[in-house]
């Protein structure tokens, strides 16, 4: 394939956006299976925590955005909350991911939109809340993406971000590095058949700001009440920010 190097690495000079879209388009058929296997299903608990933090109960009939939605796990988690009566716009720039997961949200109020989080194809202040799970780490311009998410949120709307982090405990971090850098790329390559997608994952986590850094960026693009907490010994973190202004109903 023209976009891959001969040693199973991305071709040099391939822009980050294109690289990321290529990876997820190519691994889409195996993405859910790999998620469950590689996270030992802990990701399900993290997604529940993310929806718990969204504050959707204040606007149960609102329209919510799940950006970098992939195969709709978060969109489904929100739609399946008992008194939720609203809808979810699930946007992602890798069409195969949206196509692959479609069956999981059949009959639910989920509208897929193929679009870039760096240029969200929505007007200002239209969403009651927004979520991004394991997506912001992939953005070629993190601040621009966060600013876009802030722009499309209605005043008082919350943004919830789930992202991988480096565990703070040195011993656990050493174990985690071994898993993340040695085991995960091998299992990922074996199951997905993709030569470099699961090498990219640990590299992207290493390059990503730490939780305080991400919180600072959220404040910088105009979010209020920014806070975060570790999940599962610091393998992941959950960030929350609120767009300034009074929240409407829904």
Ligand X SMILES: C[S@@+](CC[C@H](N)C(=O)[O-])C[C@H]1O[C@@H](n2cnc3c(N)ncnc32)[C@H](O)[C@@H]1O
Sites of contact with ligand X (CB under 6 A): 20-21, 24, 68-70, 73-74, 92-94, 97, 116-118, 133-135, 138-139
Pick the closest to residue 94 from 33, 20, 149 (CA basis).
20
Task: Assess contact for 229 and 40: CB atoms under 8 A.
Answer: no
Orientation of helix 211-220 relative to helix 142-152, angle to 10°:
50
Quote the CA–CA distance of 130 and 90 in Å, as a whole number.
10
Nearer to ligand X, 116 or 241 (CB): 116
Least spacing, CB of residue 109 vs ligand X, in Å: 18
Least spacing, CB of residue 248 vs ligand X, in Å: 26
- SS3 annotation, 51-112: HHHCCHHHCCCCEEEEECCCCCHHHHHHHCCCCCCCEEEEEECCHHHHHHHHHHHCCCCEEE
Instruction: Tell me which residue has tokens 């565990």.
Output: 167
Task: Assess contact for 227 and 243: CB atoms under 8 A.
Answer: no
Nearer to ligand X, 32 or 166 (CB): 32
Task: Assess contact for 191 and 33: CB atoms under 8 A.
Answer: yes
Least spacing, CB of residue 201 vs ligand X, in Å: 8
- 164 — alpha (psi -120 to 50), left (phi > 0) or beta? beta
Task: Assess contact for 137 and 208: CB atoms under 8 A.
Answer: yes
Least spacing, CB of residue 46 vs ligand X, in Å: 9
Nearer to ligand X, 44 or 174 (CB): 44
Pick the closest to residue 55 from 23, 37, 81, 89 (CA basis).
81
Q: Which helix or strand (DSSP H or E) is residue 231 part of?
A: strand 224-231
Nearer to ligand X, 22 or 87 (CB): 22
Least spacing, CB of residue 117 vs ligand X, in Å: 4
Nearer to ligand X, 121 or 155 (CB): 121
Nearer to ligand X, 11 or 118 (CB): 118
In the complex, residue closest to ligand X by CB:
70
Least spacing, CB of residue 100 vs ligand X, in Å: 10
Least spacing, CB of residue 88 vs ligand X, in Å: 12
Nearer to ligand X, 96 or 248 (CB): 96
């Amino acid at each position: 394939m023209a976009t891959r190097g001969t040693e199973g690495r991305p071709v040099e000079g391939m822009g980050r956006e294109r690289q990321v879209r290529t990876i997820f388009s190519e691994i889409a058929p195996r993405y859910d299976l790999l998620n469950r296997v590689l996270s030992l299903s802990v990701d399900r608990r993290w997604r529940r925590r993310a929806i718990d933090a969204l504050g959707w109960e204040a606007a149960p009939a609102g329209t919510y955005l799940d950006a970098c939605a992939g195969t709709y796990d978060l969109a489904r988690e929100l739609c399946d909350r008992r008194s939720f009566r609203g809808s979810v716009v699930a946007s992602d720039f890798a069409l195969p991911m949206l196509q692959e997961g479609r069956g999981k949200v059949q009959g639910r109020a989920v509208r897929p939109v193929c679009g870039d989080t760096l240029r969200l194809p929505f007007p200002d202040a239209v969403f009651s809340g927004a979520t991004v799970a394991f997506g912001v780490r992939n953005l070629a311009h993190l601040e621009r993406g966060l600013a876009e998410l802030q722009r499309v949120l209605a005043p008082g709307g919350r943004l919830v971000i789930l992202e991988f982090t480096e565990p703070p405990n040195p011993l656990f971090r050493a174990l985690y590095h071994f898993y993340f850098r040695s085991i995960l790329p091998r299992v990922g390559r074996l199951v997905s058949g993709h030569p470099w997608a699961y090498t990219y994952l640990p590299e992207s986590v290493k390059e990503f700001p730490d939780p305080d850094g991400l919180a600072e960026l959220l404040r910088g693009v105009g979010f209020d009440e920014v806070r975060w907490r570790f999940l599962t010994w610091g393998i992941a973190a959950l960030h929350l920010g609120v767009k300034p202004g009074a929240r409407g109903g829904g």
